[in-house]
Structure 1
Amino acid sequence: MRILLVGEYSRLHNSLKEGLLALGHEVTLISTGDEFKNFPSDILLKRKYDSGFSKKIKVGLFTIFGLDISSLSLKNQFFLRKEEFKNFDVVQLINESPLGILPKYEKEIISFLKKNNQKLFLLSCGTDYTSVKFAFEKKFRYSIFNPLFELKVSEKEFFPALKYLKPEYKDLHDFVFENVDGVIASDLDYDIPLQGTEKYLGLIPNPVNTEKLKFQSINPEEKIIVFHGINRANYFKKGNDYFEAALEKIQQKYPEKVEVICVENIPYAEYIEKYNSAHILLDQVFAYDQGYNALEAMAKGKVVFTGAETEFLKLYNLKEDEVCINALPDVDYLFKKLESLILNPEELASILTKARQFIEREHDYISIAKKYLETWE
């Protein structure tokens, strides 16, 4: 089978590609690298005019004429190589806006892919109309919009998520759903809003290539190392302010027992290298399930503070704190969870061992690739 994967978030499509290749399929991945994360792609479209004087020109053109030259450049790069995007058995979009460009250009690209290939599928694994609307209407117990509801940030700062509620993105959403053969969710944060939606085919867990992720056991005699990676654009959306406040309390109380590594806005390869030495990784607060960074860290034997709500525990038949720690928007709660692990390294060791086993059991990249093939067919 010939498969085209369009777009990339958090290495999901790369791992799926590795699983599909192992099963003997031909796979091409096209993306923009997901900005500073710089994920690998077979065909990398380069985002231009996003810094320096050229960015000022871009902003001016958009303000006066509504012309986004970054989006136009990416669209033109795609169509210059359009012959390479024909005659695939399956095309999968990683998002309703898979290349992160203006909706009118996304529609041109998606129309081309629909016309020139056999089947077209949508993967819901990042902010889109359905998940944003569900969260904004407070249908989750808590969500990425908590900081906005609590007036910690302005609507302008939340534009990257709120834009999906604008008419042009709602129109893009309707267009995509009309043209795809089916929709797949990567975890519960996208599965729950999609329940009952026409064309929804169900949840397929994120694929993780454990062959590339070496498990690392801990030495209880060492300092406990906590890693906190920050994407400044998503600082409040990920709950980094709660993590930073809890870490400050931990460092004050246990300076001789804890070492904290904090990094900000670094490429994926460097991010992975930085957290290799850590025992605990602080991922995100406002989630019901694990995103891709959390899963890779769990595979390496890290205790991850992330989404692990009751819905997740029920889905995988797990107990609380069995494979990861459910991070909540509560500084005292996060402090106590961290403190417990620091004072009980045997508990830490137990969780990280079970975390690796969980990833091997539920997220194996070849097993997950088979599930995609079954769903596409």
Structure 2
Amino acid sequence: MKILLVGEYSRLHNSLKEGLEALGHQVTLVASGDGFKNFSADIKLVSIIKNSLFLNFINKVFIRVFNIDFIKIENAYRFKKVLPKLHQFDVVQLINEDSLNIYPKHQIKLLKQLKSQNKSLFLLCCGDDYLTTKYFLEQNPRYSILTPFLKDQSLKNKFNYSLKYITKPYKTLHYYIFSTIKGVIATDLDYHIPMQNESRYLGLIPNPINIDSISPIPLKFNDKIIIFHGVNKLSKIKKGNSYFEKALEIINSKYGDKVIIKTTENLPYNTYIKSYNSAHIVLDQIYAFDQGYNALEAMCKGKVVFTGAEKEWLEYYNLEEDTVAINALPDVDYLVKKLEWLINNPKQIEVISNNAIAFIKAQHHYIDIAKKYVDTWNKA
């Protein structure tokens, strides 16, 4: 098949592309690189405004004063310019409902043209969108990425990206996309749960991890346990990083002679993926039922990851608690106890490390996942 993947935020589409190509399919990925993360793409739509300190500052002024975002206008121009090349694909898959980061009314026009010159359009549910945002706001799950906002609505400005999806323009974009796609696929349980009653929902396909390019790293236990905490400042509140920070302060004061704590901020993807190679423990995110992409790649390397590993996830994969990953909860005392358990029981780190590697190979192998996508597309 000839396949077009549109958008990239986590390396999901890159890994899927590698799996599909291993199966003999022809794949093109068009994406922006997602800012500082700088993900690769076959057709890269890089914003000059976003990458210029001066132009970006001017753009922020226009957004604040006139509510005009020139980056979105530039993105529309750049996508429109490459659109004539994006034709005769058997499958086109959007990374999410705002995969182009363009004003909704312009995005609808461009998606109409994209759909008209290709066969089938599919959508991923792997981040913020209309249905998941609506679900998190209305159904009150135990927690979600919107929990900090629901607890303190003075944080609303920090959640503009998520909350935009329930505004009228993005709701219109959502209904247009759902009227034209063959179906929507969720990539983990945080998105599977909100999607279950939707007629267009095709099911959960776990994130693909390229186990051939991300090899396990044998753990070395010398004098100290190394704990890694990588922070994306743009999503820090949504991911609950402050709980990790407070827990690490306590751990450092109690076990400063036994641990090394390494914290980074806003690293490009290729730097980030190497930055925790020596770590034994990786702190990922709090407000999740399932693992996101960073957690899965760290697990593939054999790290003990504090991430989403809720009972729904344990039941789905038939696992026992604390065997593959550590469920990270919004509770500092709980996080400290779990970290203490591992610091004082390094053998347990080895056990979980080996289980994590086996789990990724069994459930997230990029070629096996690519086969599931092909089967799902064909059935739809």
TM range (shorter): over 0.9
Residue 39 (structure 1) aligned with residue 39 (structure 2) = yes
Quote how far apart the aligned CAs of 1:63 are. 5.3
Tell which deviates more after alignment, 87-96 or 71-80.
Answer: 71-80
Which amino acid in the other structure matches residue 16 of structure 2? L
CA 1:229/1:69 → structure 2, altered by over 3 Å: closer, same or farther? same
Q: Which residue of 1 aligns with 2:121?
A: 120
Q: Shift of residue 66 of structure 1? A: 4.7
Q: Deviations over 1:285-313 (max 9, x none)?
A: 00000001000000000000000111100
1:76 partner letter: Y
Shift in CA distance, 63/284, structure 1 to aligned 2, threshold 3 Å: closer
Amino acid in structure 1 at the alignment position of 2:165: Y
CA contact (8 A) 1:14 1:40 kept: yes
Q: Within 2, Cα distance between the matches of 1:84 and 1:245?
A: 50
Q: Encode CA deviations 1:212-234: one digit per residue, 9 max, x unaligned.
A: 11111223334111110111111
Secondary structure of the structure 1 residue equivalent to 2:291: coil
CA shift at 1:53, angstroms?
Answer: 3.0
Is the Cα contact below 8 Å between 1:147 and 1:153 reproduced in 2? no
Per-residue deviation, residues 314-340 of structure 1 (Å, max 9, x unmatched): 110000011000000000000000010
TM-score (norm 2): 0.96
User: Which position in structure 2 is the counterpart of 1:300?
Assistant: 301
Greater alpha carbon shift after TM alignment, 299-308 vs 106-115: 106-115
Whichever residue aligns with residue 94 of structure 2, its letter is L
Shift of 1:150: 2.5
CA distance, structure 2, for counterparts of residue 100 and residue 210 of structure 1 = 30
The answer to whether the Cα contact below 8 Å between 1:29 and 1:41 also exists between their aligned partners in 2 is yes
Q: 1:62–1:243: structure 2 CA closer, same or farther, 3 Å change rule?
A: closer
Give aligned-pair identity as a percent: 53
> Partner letter of residue 3 of structure 1?
I
Q: Select between 98-107 and 49-58 the one with higher mean Cα deviation.
A: 49-58
Q: State the secondary structure of the residue aligned to 1:235.
A: helix
* Contact 2:306/2:327, CA 8 A, preserved across alignment: yes
Q: Which residue is equivalent to 1:321?
A: 322
Aligned-partner SS, 2:229: strand
Contact 1:45–1:77 (CA<8 Å) still a contact in 2?
yes
1-structure distance, mates of 2:8, 2:335: 31
Q: In structure 1, what is the equivalent of residue 27 of structure 2? A: 27
- Aligned counterparts of 1:67 and 1:255: Cα–Cα separation in 2: 49
Measured against aligned partners, the alpha-carbon deviations of 1:131-175 in whole angstroms (never above 9, x if no partner) come to: 111111243111112212222852111111111111111111111
Moved more, 61-70 or 143-152: 61-70
Aligned counterpart, 2:227: 226
Contact 2:184 2:202 in 1 (8 A): yes
Give the letter aligned to residue 105 of structure 2: K
Check conservation: 2:83, 2:114, Cα contact below 8 A.
no
Structure-2 residue corresponding to 1:94: 95
After TM superposition, give the deviation of residue 62 of structure 1 in Å.
4.3
Separation (CA, whole Å) in 1 of partners of 2:283 and 2:139 = 25
Correspondence list, 1:1-377, <5 A: 1-50=1-50, 51-62=52-63, 66-151=67-152, 154-377=155-378
Q: TM-score, normalised by structure 1?
A: 0.97
Aligned equivalents of 1:218, 1:66: Cα separation in 2: 51
Instruction: Call closer, same or farther: CA 1:158–1:65 in 2, change over 3 Å.
Output: closer
- Which AA in structure 2 matches 1:303? V
Which ranges of structure 1 fall in alignment gaps of 5 or more residues? none
1:54-90 CA-to-partner distances (Å, cap 9, x unmatched) read: 2343245445655422112111111212222100000
Whole-angstrom CA distance in 2 between matches of 1:301 and 1:40: 25
Assess, with a 3 A threshold, how the Cα gap between structure 1 residues 81 and 312 changes in structure 2: closer, same or farther.
Answer: same
Distance, in Å, in 2 between the alignment partners of 1:311 and 1:146 is 18
**How far apart are 1:123 and its partner, in Å?**
0.5
What is the letter of the counterpart of residue 374 of structure 2? Answer: L
- C-alpha change, 1:163 and 1:152, in structure 2 (3 Å) is closer
C-alpha change, 1:179 and 1:223, in structure 2 (3 Å) is same
SS in structure 1 of the partner of residue 227 of structure 2: strand
Shift of the alpha carbon at 1:48?
Answer: 3.0
AA of the residue aligned to 1:22: A
Contact 2:75 2:101 in 1 (8 A): no
Instruction: For 1:228, give the aligned amino acid.
Output: H
Gaps of 5+ in 2: none
Q: Output the CA distance in 2 between the equivalents of 1:218 and 1:253.
A: 23
Name the stretch that deviates more: 355-364 or 163-172.
163-172
C-alpha deviations, 1:260-282, integer Å up to 9, x for none?
A: 11000110011111111111100
Letter in 1 for 2:23: L
- Structure 1 stretches of 4+ moved >6 Å: none
Paired residue type of 2:80: F
Using a 3 Å threshold, how does the CA distance of structure 1 residues 241 and 63 change in structure 2: closer, same or farther? closer
Contact 2:216 2:300 in 1 (8 A): yes
Within 2, Cα distance between the matches of 1:139 and 1:90?
35
Between the aligned partners of 1:177 and 1:334, the Cα distance in structure 2 is 40
Structure 1 residues 208-217 or 104-113, which shifts more? Answer: 104-113
When residues 138 and 246 of structure 1 are mapped into structure 2, their CA distance, relative to the original with a 3 A threshold, is farther
